[in-house]
């Protein structure tokens, strides 16, 4: 691993802190760009950091260069702002011009264009899982609870649905119960999607959450992620399990998540779609 400081562009959740802690444990300095309105102050507080508006591209670039960061990790959920709410600095305007039409495309198209521009500027973006080590979920059953035939059929249905909506750059997750698609993820995110499932659930065997990377997705910065909070939301939604893409999903605090799933009687299954 390079000894140069690692730059972390931090959105929401606890994963930016996990990446910083893992890098420091490996003997590497870090500098966190905390995106205002998304990065959680208590997560970034223990590490060298500075807060920036998402569109302050010039200031972000200067800060990363001043801290000697050539390698970057982009981690944590960020909701794309309306193009009309942006107030980009001069460098931000130049980046928007270089990104071009991708600024108005889906998340995958925009993210790919941003990574291309960062590469042209001398930064190398790596996946969070390259720092976290062993964070990607493995294939097979991880829990005591296991899916029955009905749940397995729902998982198959969910995989088929996600291949369609993923190819359209809509979302990474859906909920299926008895073959019926109860919800699909859009810009609101997985947790918000799960919050509306209980109201539309059917009597009988409970449904499942299926979460996969989108076909052709840029995997350095937007891999599907599940964690302890996901288990809580799954249980509150009345679901009985989670199927995730093996080798393509980050399990945040994996051992704790498996313990939580076992405590709740929820299954975790790594699938290879």
Residues 109 and 204 in one domain: no
Residue span of the structural domain in which 24 resides = 6-132
The total number of structural domains in the chain stands at 2
Give 69-95 as a DSSP string. --EEEEES--PPPPGGG----HHHHHH
Beta bridge partners of 180: 177
Q: Which two tokens mark 90?
A: 């001069």
Task: Give the residue, 224 or 2, on which the prediction is more confident.
Answer: 224
Return the pLDDT at 170.
86
Average pLDDT of the residues of the chain: 86
How many Å apart are CA 260 and CA 180, to the nearest integer? 27
pLDDT in tens, 247-260: 989 998 889 999 99
Return the pLDDT at 35.
87
Q: Is 110 part of a structural domain of the chain?
A: yes
pLDDT in tens, 40-65: 999 999 999 999 887 777 788 889 99
In CATH, what number is assigned to the domain containing residue 112? 3.40.50.20
Q: Is 128 part of a structural domain of the chain?
A: yes
Return the pLDDT at 268.
98
Residues 89 and 148 in one domain: no
Return the pLDDT at 168.
85
Once rounded to an integer, what is the mean pLDDT over residues 115-134?
A: 81
Once rounded to an integer, what is the mean pLDDT over residues 89-109?
A: 57
Return the pLDDT at 133.
78
Q: Is 1 part of a structural domain of the chain?
A: no
Crossing angle of helices 57-66 and 90-99, in 10° steps, is: 100
Q: Which two tokens mark 9?
A: 């562009």
Residues 126 and 146 in one domain: no
pLDDT in tens, 135-158: 899 999 999 999 999 999 999 999
Task: Give the residue, 90 or 212, on which the prediction is more confident.
Answer: 212
Residues 111 and 148 in one domain: no
Q: By mean pLDDT, which of 8-22, 32-46, 80-94, 155-169 is the weakest?
A: 80-94
Specify the DSSP element, H or E, that contains 163. Answer: helix 149-167
Residues 11 and 119 in one domain: yes
Residues 153 and 45 in one domain: no
pLDDT in tens, 204-244: 999 999 999 888 766 776 788 899 999 999 999 999 999 99
Tell whether the model's pLDDT for residue 89 goes beyond 70.
Answer: no
- Give Cβ neighbours of residue 214 (< 8 Å, ≥ 6 apart): 108, 162, 166, 167, 169, 172
Answer with the one of 132, 161, 190 that is the final residue of a domain: 132
Predicted TM-score (pTM) of the model is 0.80
Tell whether the model's pLDDT for residue 80 goes beyond 80.
Answer: no
Residues 127 and 191 in one domain: no
């Amino acid at each position: 691993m390079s000894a140069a400081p690692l730059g972390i562009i931090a959105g929401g959740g606890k994963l930016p802190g996990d990446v910083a802690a893992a890098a420091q444990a490996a003997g590497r300095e870090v500098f966190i760009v905390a995106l205002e309105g998304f990065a959680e102050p208590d997560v970034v507080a223990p590490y060298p950091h500075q807060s920036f508006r998402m569109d302050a591209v010039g200031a972000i670039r200067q800060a990363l260069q001043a801290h000697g960061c050539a390698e970057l990790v982009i981690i944590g959920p960020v909701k794309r702002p309306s193009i009309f709410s942006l107030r980009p600095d001069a460098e931000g305007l130049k980046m928007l011009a270089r990104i071009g039409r991708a600024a108005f495309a889906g998340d995958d198209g925009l993210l790919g264009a941003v990574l291309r521009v960062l590469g042209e500027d001398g930064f190398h973006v790596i996946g969070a899982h390259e720092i976290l080590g062993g964070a990607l979920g493995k294939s097979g059953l991880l829990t005591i609870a296991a899916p029955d035939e009905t749940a397995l059929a729902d998982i198959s249905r969910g995989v088929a649905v996600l291949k369609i909506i993923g190819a359209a750059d809509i979302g990474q997750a859906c909920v299926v119960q008895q073959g019926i698609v109860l919800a699909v993820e859009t810009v609101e995110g997985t947790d918000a999607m799960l919050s509306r499932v209980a109201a539309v659930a059917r009597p009988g065997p409970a449904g499942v959450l299926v979460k996969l990377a989108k076909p052709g997705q840029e995997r350095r910065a937007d891999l599907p992620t599940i964690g302890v909070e996901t288990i809580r939301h799954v249980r509150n939604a009345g679901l009985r399990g989670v199927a995730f893409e093996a080798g393509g999903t980050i399990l945040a605090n994996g051992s704790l998540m498996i313990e939580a799933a076992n405590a709740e009687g929820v299954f975790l299954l790594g699938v290879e779609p």
